[in-house]
Structure 1
Amino acid sequence: MNTHQTLWYRFASASLIMLILLCFAWEMWLAPYKPGGSIWVIKVLPLLFPLRGILQKNIYTMQWASMFIMFYFIEGVVRAMSDADPISRMLAGAEIVLSVVFFLSTIYYVKPFKQIAKAAKKQAEADQAKSTS
């Protein structure tokens, strides 16, 4: 793995962990819907599903998690535009930034693997065409 891929992997894993911590703290202490914590803290649970695969550098997990994270981007945009509490709007901005960082870093981490797979498929098709002719 080259240094760029290592950097993208670190960005992906760090942004996911920070997003988990942010969402948990947001709904429990920083700006919950109800004082003392909110049931909305359960929004952290779906973020835990890809965590293991991301930490293990699983390409498949990175691919689906990069699409899945867009739900958190959307939530951040909606809450940044609609919440009355300025702290909540600031936290929504942080959620937007972390979800974008995660999305971009996973895309750039996976890109070389996708190129290798595409080249291998093209080579296999060429080999198959040679053997049939």
Structure 2
Amino acid sequence: MMPPAMDSATPTAQAASSELRRIRALAVGSLSGLIVVGLAWELWLAPLPTRLWAVKVLPLFIPLAGLLRYRMYTYRWVSLLVWLYFTEGLVRGLNDLPPARWLAFLQVLFSLALFAACALHVRTRLGARSAR
């Protein structure tokens, strides 16, 4: 019997395919990149007058455990959450001056990579489920 927190479709670390492991690495790397860029941007590299904007990074810590555990639900809702960071990066990238502009476009790149990884993960898992 599986623990209640695990759904039956969640692959374990041993059973996950190499493709899913690569996709997870891209997702976790992109999420980590968003966290690092967000903190560095708002605290040191190009902070706004109040450094309170660094709080925007806090929601990115929540899905980290779910991504590492291959939780399908986490990959689904992160693919929606990431569009907030994409939009902020795009708006600030078009309106701010360097170096904030470069950091904003870096945030956009990480956001797109995270979305692609989440979409690939969900598609791969659902494709494997329907092939059975």
User: What TM-score do you get using the length of structure 2 for normalisation?
Assistant: 0.82
Aligned-partner Cα distance in 2 for 1:101–1:118: 26
**Could you list the runs of 5+ residues in structure 1 that have no partner in the other structure?**
121-133
Partner of 2:37: 22
Partner of 1:124: none
Q: Amino acid of the residue matched to residue 92 of structure 1?
A: A
Partner of 1:53: 66
Q: Amino acid of the residue matched to residue 45 of structure 2?
A: L
Instruction: Output aligned runs, 1:28-107, within 5 Å.
Output: 28-34=43-49, 38-83=51-96, 85-107=97-119
Partner of 1:130: none
Q: Amino acid of the residue matched to residue 111 of structure 1?
A: R
Cα deviation 1:45-69 (Å, max 9, x = unaligned) = 1111111111222111011101110
Aligned-partner Cα distance in 1 for 2:124–2:64: 21
Shift in Å, 1:4: 2.1
Aligned-partner Cα distance in 1 for 2:103–2:116: 20
Count of aligned pairs: 117
Instruction: Output aligned runs, 1:111-126, within 5 Å.
Output: 111-118=123-130
Aligned-partner Cα distance in 2 for 1:52–1:3: 19
Structure showing greater Rg: 1
The percentage of counterpart residues that share the same residue type is 35
RMSD of Structure 2 on Structure 1 (CA): 1.5
Aligned-partner Cα distance in 1 for 2:26–2:40: 21
Shift in Å, 1:115: 2.7
